[in-house]
């Protein structure tokens, strides 16, 4: 009888072990505080990655019990954020080349939007780094967009156009092509006047208005009425007002951490400043299904910092890892 009981217990143990057999992951990050920046702004402690995608996240013990991997990163209480996005203007950047792109990765950038004309893609086409593949180029007209990038959707994941034109015909054609409209003019109020006159209201075109540091918008209500997303320099004096109008904004100028700190110093809430570097940037470029937050099924793009950006602790912020598609592009020495 005792032997029978023992065998039954042993069988149960073996069956139980089979049920909790660990799954294979390509990468596990653990011992961290993970800011998911999802709709509930929840946190986690560990992430599992497979084939460049996030397959699971949660408490450290749960993830380590559930998954095994030859590639584990002990983050040593560091902080993991969705990969930071940055915006670059070629006319203000003297050295727009592969070395510059690599420096961006060392600053935690996992995706980049470059505004500047047809010579820009040629400079970077020879670079096969993960960050280069996450660049969105914006030429200066719809014609250039089509001529330069007939394979844009497939090869560069392009989905927009940058222009200074202000004609009803252009606005109509751009809308018909499903291209998000990006304005970049010396006087943002002039652009708002044109939008107010020619453009219909709510839609899903992700219209974005580039607002220069010295622009003082008088008609900020047009942003809300025409669903225009402000793309604003991180030291702009109207940050909170612009955000209040359309509930979304994107920070431009400077490196990602610098933009976050400058925006907070200019009055933006820390959570909103983080959203402006991550999920809101993904939204304006139609990438929110793949990036911008740490959620199952999204691309494994992470910026790992030594500091908690959402706390009041005064720590010198350092980028420890920049990870794109589950691959470590940058590691702090």
Looking at the chain, the whole-number percentage of residues with pLDDT higher than 70 is: 69
- Burial grade of 129 (CB within 10 A; 0-12, 13-18, 19 or more): middle
Q: Is the pLDDT of residue 232 over 70?
A: yes
What's the pLDDT band for 185 if we cut at 50, 70, 90? low
- 77 and 89 co-located in one domain: no
Looking at the chain, the whole-number percentage of residues with pLDDT higher than 90 is: 45
Cα 243 from Cα 144, distance rounded (Å) = 32
The 10s digit of each residue's pLDDT in 25-81 is 999 999 999 999 999 999 999 999 999 999 999 999 999 999 999 999 999 999 999
- 111 and 256 co-located in one domain: yes
What's the pLDDT band for 181 if we cut at 50, 70, 90? low
Q: Which of 125-139, 155-169, 228-242 has the highest mean pLDDT?
A: 228-242
Q: Take residue 3 and report the two structure tokens written for it.
A: 């032997």
Residue 296 within a domain: no
Q: How much is the pLDDT for 15?
A: 47
Q: Take residue 21 and report the two structure tokens written for it.
A: 């057999």
Over its C-alpha atoms, the chain yields an Rg (Å, rounded) of 23
Mean pLDDT of the chain: 79
Q: Which strand (E) or helix (H) includes residue 80?
A: strand 72-82
- 264 and 175 co-located in one domain: yes
Higher pLDDT, 293 or 200: 293
Domain hosting residue 7, numbered range: 2-81+306-331
- Residue 31 is part of a domain; what is its CATH number? 2.30.40.10
Q: Take residue 116 and report the two structure tokens written for it.
A: 């500047």
- 92 and 64 co-located in one domain: no
Q: Which of 150-164, 174-188, 264-278 has the highest mean pLDDT?
A: 264-278
Count of CB atoms situated within 10 Å of the CB of 194? 18
Average pLDDT over residues 95-99: 74
- 105 and 10 co-located in one domain: no
This prediction has a pTM of: 0.82
């Amino acid at each position: 009888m005792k032997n029978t009981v023992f065998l039954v217990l042993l069988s149960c143990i073996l069956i139980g072990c089979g049920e909790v057999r660990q799954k294979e992951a390509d990468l596990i990050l653990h011992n961290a505080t993970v800011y998911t920046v999802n709709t509930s702004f929840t946190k986690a402690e560990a992430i599992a990655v497979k084939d460049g995608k996030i397959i699971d996240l949660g408490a450290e013990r749960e993830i380590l019990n559930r998954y095994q991997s030859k590639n584990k990163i002990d983050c040593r209480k560091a902080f993991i954020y969705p990969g930071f996005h940055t915006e670059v203007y070629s006319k203000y950047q003297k050295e727009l080349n592969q070395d510059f792109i690599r420096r961006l990765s060392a600053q935690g950038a996992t995706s980049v939007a470059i505004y500047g004309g047809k010579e820009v893609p040629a400079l970077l086409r020879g670079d096969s780094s993960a960050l280069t593949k996450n660049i969105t180029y914006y030429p200066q007209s719809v014609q250039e967009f089509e001529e330069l990038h007939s394979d844009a959707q497939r090869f560069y994941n392009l989905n927009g156009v940058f222009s200074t034109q202000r004609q009803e015909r252009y606005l109509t054609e751009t809308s018909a092509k499903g291209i998000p409209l990006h304005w970049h003019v010396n006087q943002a109020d002039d652009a708002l006047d044109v939008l107010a006159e020619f453009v219909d209201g709510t839609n899903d075109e992700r219209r974005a208005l580039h607002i220069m540091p010295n622009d003082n918008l008088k008609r900020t209500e047009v942003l809300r009425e025409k669903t225009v997303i402000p793309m604003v320099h991180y030291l702009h004096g109207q940050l909170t007002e612009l955000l209040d109008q359309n509930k979304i904004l994107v920070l431009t100028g400077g490196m990602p951490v610098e933009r976050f700190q400058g925006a907070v110093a200019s009055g933006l809430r820390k959570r909103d400043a983080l959203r402006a570097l991550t999920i809101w940037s993904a939204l304006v470029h139609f990438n929110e299904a793949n990036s911008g937050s740490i959620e199952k099924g999204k691309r494994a793009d992470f910026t790992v910092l030594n500091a908690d950006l959402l706390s009041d602790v005064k720590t010198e912020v350092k980028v420890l890892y920049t990870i794109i598609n589950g691959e470590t592009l940058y590691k702090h020495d």
